[in-house]
Structure 1
Amino acid sequence: MKDQILDKATDMFLTLGFKSVTMDDIASEMGISKKTIYQHFANKDELVKATTTNLYENISCGIDEIILADKNPIEELFAIKEFVMKNLKNENTSPIYQLHKYYPKIHKSLMIKQFDKMGTCVIKNLEKGIHLDLFRKEINKELIARFYFAGMNSIKDPEIFSPEKFSIKEVQTNYLEYHLRGICTPKGVIKLEQLININNN
């Protein structure tokens, strides 16, 4: 039952937002009593923490599988973007922003884990791209990894990127292209534009 509650809560939080969904909503959706939820999770904060931890672990495992597929580094970043967006339901209601606003301690803990994971992945991606002459050799890998992490988190802010004006997919795709055009060699740009043309058709 605990795993079922976790799955349903994750789905509802990502669809409607961490603040918007109540324990009553989850109980009603599952056809169980709120008391049943409290047998497994002492309060909503504990449930939110459990769902974000579970989600982080699932996404981390999925990213590891994409990296193991040994795609070229440009394709790898596009594949990771698609995978993350699918698992976060395209973040149409900006649940991560709600998490930051209403559950700051949980959000900060998640950001630390994400930074460790993403920093390592991005640096390995950059090293692979440099080795294949797709990324410029002179780039500062540590700095670029931080730029990328900071940007990926900033574009989730609906006050800056209003969902009414920009779709999440549009923002994510343009940000990834922006990142890659800044680090690609001429050879890398050709690969990037081929991939963009494939995705647009």
Structure 2
Amino acid sequence: MKTKIKEKATDMFLNYGFKSVTMDDIANAIGISKKTIYSSYTNKTALIEDCVMNKICTINNGIDSLIALGKNPIEELYDIKRYVMSHLKDEKTSPQFQLMKYYPKIHENMKSMQLNKMQKCLVSNVERGIEQEIYRPNLNPEFIARIYFSGINSIKDQKLFPIERFPISTLMDDFLEYHLRGIVTEKGEDILNRIINSIQQ
């Protein structure tokens, strides 16, 4: 039952927002009493934390599977972006913004896990890109990884990028292209242009 509660709650939180969904909403959606939920989770915060951490583990495992395919680093970043976007629901509810505002401790823990994961993935991505001569040879992989992570988090700030003017899917595409154009070689630029053209067709 705990797994069923977690799966349904995660889906609802991502669809409608962490603040908007109540324990009553979750209980009604599953067809159980609220007391049953409280037998597994002491409060809503504990449920949210379990849902968030479980979702991050799922995404991390998916990212590992994509990296294992051994594609070139530029294609890999686009594949990861698509995969992560597929785990986002209705962008208008901005679940991450609600998490940051109403559950800051959980948000900080999530960011810390994301940083650890992204740091390893991105440093490896840059190093392989340099080896394959599609990224510039004078790059500092750790700096590039951290500046990318910082940028990804900045574009989620709705004060800077109001969702009405900057839909998240377009914003992610624009940011990834902006990032890559700053680090690719001429050989890498050919690959990047080919990927962008295939997306636009």
Task: Work out whether the TM-score is over 0.5.
Answer: yes
Corresponding residue for residue 94 of structure 1: 94
Paired amino acid for 1:52: V
Residue 40 of structure 2 corresponds to residue 40 of structure 1: yes
TM-score of the superposed pair, with normalisation by structure 1: 0.97
* CA deviations over 1:115-148 (Å, ceiling 9, x no partner): 0000000000001100100000101111111110
Aligned position for 1:75: 75
Take 2:160 and 2:26, find their aligned partners in 1: how far apart are those partners?
30
Equivalence for 1:128: 128
Bigger drift between 154-163 and 64-73 goes to 154-163
Q: Does 1:12 align with 2:12?
A: yes
Structure 1 residues 150, 156: closer, same or farther in 2, change over 3 A?
A: same
Q: Give the superposition deviation at 1:92.
A: 3.7
Cα drift, residue 112 of structure 1: 0.8
Q: Which amino acid in 2 is paired with 1:147? A: I
Q: Distance in 1 between matches of 2:92 and 2:176?
A: 18
CA deviation profile, 1:126-181 (whole Å, cap 9, x unmatched)? 01100100000101111111110011111112222111112110000000000100
Q: Which residue of 2 aligns with 1:170?
A: 170
| 8 Å CA contact 2:15, 2:90 repeated in 1 | no
Contact 2:16 2:90 in 1 (8 A): no
Q: Determine the C-alpha separation between the residues in 1 that align with 2:21 and 2:159.
A: 21
Q: Which amino acid aligns with 1:62?
A: G
Alignment partners' CA distance in 2, 1:13 and 1:94 = 10
**Structure 1 unmatched ranges of 5 or more:** none
SS in 2 for 1:71: coil
Q: Which moved more, 1:28-37 or 1:175-184?
A: 28-37
Q: Equivalents in 1 of 2:108, 2:91: separation in Å?
A: 18
User: Stretches of 4+ moved more than 6 A in 1?
Assistant: none
In structure 1, how many angstroms separate the alpha carbons of the residues matched to 2:119 and 2:106? 20
**Rounded Cα–Cα distance in structure 2 between residues aligned with 1:103 and 1:66:** 30
**C-alpha deviation, 1:94, in angstroms:** 1.5
Letter in 1 for 2:58: N
How far has the Cα of 1:200 moved from its partner?
A: 0.9
Deviates further, 26-35 or 124-133:
26-35
- Counterpart of 1:29 in structure 2 is 29
1:115 and 2:134 correspond:
no
Structure 1 letter corresponding to 2:89 = K
For residues 196 and 142 of structure 1, do their structure 2 counterparts lie closer, same or farther at Cα, with a shift above 3 Å needed? Answer: same
AA aligned to 1:109 is N
Structure 2: runs of 5 or more not aligned: none
State the one-letter code of the partner of 2:50: A
Tell me the residue number matched to 1:106: 106
- The one-letter code matched in structure 1 to 2:127 is E
CA distance in 2, matches of 1:55, 1:66: 17
Q: Percent identity?
A: 52
